[in-house]
């Protein structure tokens, strides 16, 4: 069983954002509507719904507002035989959250965004998800800032506000490694 207490508040906010985005897509409703619903439910202690963190709200609102840009960025790094809608829904949401942080959230270092996405992929998806999520997010990050260091696969890091260092840089994945994943 995962030790959720070892994660910082931002990691937990990201994980909740992925959960809400997943639910919204599964129910085919606006993720901001799910967010608003959870906010209302959390006001009554009888509902046993945790309050929504500000960072969760920021992620969901940001992803909803920039969804087309995010999906376009992700699709550029999909293997030519794949389409975004064919990815498992949870992987799609992890990619959207990670891509939003890389592209639109200057407060979070790219290495932290990628490392947290990899940890969520390990937690929520099968063994095949972390390598391709890593390759795609690293590709997106490199396309935005070609001099940005790549994140070593499998490296888990705490949130910046917890005082953790970013993971050590690694070589970007080659095309052959991407196809194997």
Both tokens assigned to 151: 């994140």
Q: Is the pLDDT of residue 145 over 90?
A: no
pLDDT at position 178, please? 34
Both tokens assigned to 147: 């001099």
Q: Is the pLDDT of residue 2 over 80?
A: no
pLDDT at position 142, please? 93
Q: Is the pLDDT of residue 129 over 80?
A: yes
User: Cα dist. 70→44, 63, 127, 150, 164 in Å?
Assistant: 34, 8, 24, 20, 27
Return all residues near 55 (Cβ < 8 A) that are at least 6 apart: 9, 10, 13, 14
Query: What integer best gives the mean pLDDT of the chain?
Result: 81
Q: 3.30.1380.10, 1.10.10.10, 3.40.50.920, 1.10.940.10: which CATH number matches 4-180?
A: 1.10.940.10
Q: Where are the domains of the chain?
A: 4-180
pLDDT at position 148, please? 58
Is 0.85 topped by the overall pTM? no
What's the rounded mean pLDDT across residues 40-60?
Answer: 94
Return all residues near 134 (Cβ < 8 A) that are at least 6 apart: 114, 118, 151, 153, 173
- In angstroms, how far apart are the furthest CA atoms of the chain? 53
What's the rounded mean pLDDT across residues 53-63?
Answer: 97
pLDDT at position 158, please? 37
Q: Is the pLDDT of residue 9 over 70?
A: yes
Lowest mean pLDDT among 9-13, 131-135, 147-151: 147-151
Burial call 32-45: b when 16+ CB within 10 Å, e when fewer? bebbeebeeeeeee
What's the rounded mean pLDDT across residues 78-98?
Answer: 91
Q: Label residue 165 by pLDDT band (50, 70, 90).
A: very low
Q: Is the pLDDT of residue 110 over 70?
A: yes
What's the rounded mean pLDDT across residues 136-148?
Answer: 85
């Amino acid at each position: 069983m995962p030790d959720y207490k070892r994660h910082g508040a931002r990691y937990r906010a990201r994980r909740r954002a992925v959960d809400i985005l997943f639910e919204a897509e599964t129910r085919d409703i606006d993720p901001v509507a799910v967010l608003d619903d959870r906010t209302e439910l959390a006001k009554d202690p009888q509902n046993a719904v945790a309050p929504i963190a500000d960072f969760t709200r920021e992620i969901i609102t940001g992803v909803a507002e920039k969804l087309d840009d995010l999906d376009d960025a992700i699709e550029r790094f999909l293997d030519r035989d794949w389409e975004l809608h064919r990815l498992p829904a949870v992987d799609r949401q992890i990619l959207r959250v990670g891509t939003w942080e890389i592209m639109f959230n200057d407060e979070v270092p790219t290495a932290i965004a990628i490392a947290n996405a990899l940890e969520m992929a390990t937690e929520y998806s099968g063994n095949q998800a972390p390598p391709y999520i890593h390759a795609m997010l690293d590709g997106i990050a490199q396309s935005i800032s070609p001099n940005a260091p790549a994140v070593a696969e499998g490296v888990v890091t705490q949130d910046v506000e917890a005082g953790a260092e970013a993971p050590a840089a690694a070589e970007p994945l080659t095309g052959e490694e991407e196809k194997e994943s």
